[in-house]
Structure 1
């Protein structure tokens, strides 16, 4: 199997976790407290992946300057995307402390889908890059993508249902994002083969910056809305799990 095709399949598998989360929420009534716990755990996994799988490797390969520039750039891109979404009435994965209205829930579901696309593309590119040079897939990064994508799919479906969206729309959206993740991984593997270490470091660090900004701006606040005092413990457990996987991998 060509390496770019393998990369695409891994990216599709990571994006497929979004569809899996949506399927669970569509057919089962998942308590929001459970979603919050999974979200907090995923935040911990992503934090570890950003630190050890992305930033550490980027700095080793491309140097501190390129890594720092990419990291800050990724955070800025993510924050600007959130600002644009909020100005258009789509509160990106943010919940009101009061009971959300029907319009709020509908907007939240769509915003999560948009946010998942913003997260998924750089994450998938990194998965594709990790195969270059004969290296294996980044196990920690793949686990982080899967674990964080499941609660995104879970939490979006309630808002989409509230808006009266049917199964064709819901799974069409998540299926398209999963396909985009696979294509991004394949393109990352194809187009970045032979690229300079500095360029790969910048792209890798962009993903890390966007991920960390997303964790701080959306995942932790949303998890704390429900999990409260358990949020820190669940996030710590997620971080430790990813750390152990990285060290044993």
Structure 2
């Protein structure tokens, strides 16, 4: 199979986790109030664990390779600052598009890293695709619920938007494979910036939503998400 088709399939698989997560959010007849409470918090925590595993096992280890400690630290910190500025902008301009922008802000950089890792002959492309899918699933779930609560879009239109967003991953991955992979330092910098931004997002948006009074499953979801990423990492190595 040509590598570019492999990239297309991996990034498409990772992106389709968003509409799948959105579709899961439409199932609200499991048990009264359960979807809005424990399940939603558990899925949020799982996504946080998956994001942390992507940072610790893929983005940071590969991103720091060509850089000194100082440059690595600056790039990582700049990612956190960049995502903070995006967060501030979205807060000041509340709209239905805000959650879509938030999902794309980590999906596209990670898709770029996926395409570049395969072009550079690294063995982390499958692992990274799985991690992206793991985080896109709960992000799609939570984004669907928030967009639905805004009352501006129907279920069908939200899922259609998620399908369109899923196509941005293959596009970013192919651009990285055919062009950006020639600039290895740029790809590594992108990984570090994305890692810093994702870490900011975890503690700004995800971790505060995990705790639920008199329920202990949600924090365990973060552990399970990270363990799943760890298992994938160990199997690949």
TM-score (norm 2): 0.86
- Residue aligning to 1:94: none
- Residues in 1 aligned to 2:193 and 2:88: alpha-carbon distance in whole angstroms: 18
Equivalent of 1:87, from 80, 83, 92? 92
Question: Is 1:20 aligned to 2:20, yes or no?
Answer: yes
Query: Contact 1:79 / 1:213 at 8 angstroms: preserved in 2?
Result: yes
How does 1:91-170 map onto structure 2 within 5 Å? 110-162=97-149, 163-170=151-158
The residue number in structure 1 matching 2:43 is 38
- Assess if the C-alpha contact under 8 Å between 1:66 and 1:201 holds in 2: no
- Cα deviation, residue 25, structure 1: 1.9
Give CA deviations for 1:90-119 in whole Å, capped at 9, x if unaligned: 5xxxxxxxxxxxxxxxx5xx4322211112
Alpha-carbon distance in structure 1 between the residues aligned to 2:60 and 2:164: 29
Output one character per residue of 1:149-197: Cα deviation in whole Å (capped at 9) or x when no partner.
111211222333340522442122111211112211111112222214x
Cα distance, 1:247 vs structure 2: 1.6
1:171-190 equivalences in 2 (<5 Å): 171-190=159-178
Deviations 1:101-146 (CA, angstroms, capped at 9, x unpaired): xxxxxx5xx4322211112111111111110233345333222211
The answer to whether the 8 A contact 2:43-2:138 is kept is: yes
CA distance in 2, matches of 1:241, 1:231: 16
SS of alignment partner, residue 183 of structure 2: coil
State whether residues 8 and 185 of structure 1, in contact with CA within 8 Å, keep that contact through their aligned partners in structure 2: yes
The 1:51/1:171 distance shift into structure 2, 3 A limit, reads: same
Which one of the candidate residues 49, 74, 87 is aligned to 2:54? Answer: 49
TM-score of the superposed pair, with normalisation by structure 1: 0.82
Structure 1, unaligned stretches of length 5 or more?
91-106
Note if contact 2:44-2:142 (Cα within 8 Å) is conserved in structure 1. no
Counterpart CA distance in 1 for 2:139 and 2:162 is 10
How many residues are paired up?
A: 230
Corresponding residue of 1:4? 4
CA RMSD for the aligned pairs?
2.3
Matched, 1:213 2:200: yes
Aligned residue number for residue 182 of structure 2: 194
C-alpha distance in structure 1 between counterparts of 2:23 and 2:63, whole Å? 35
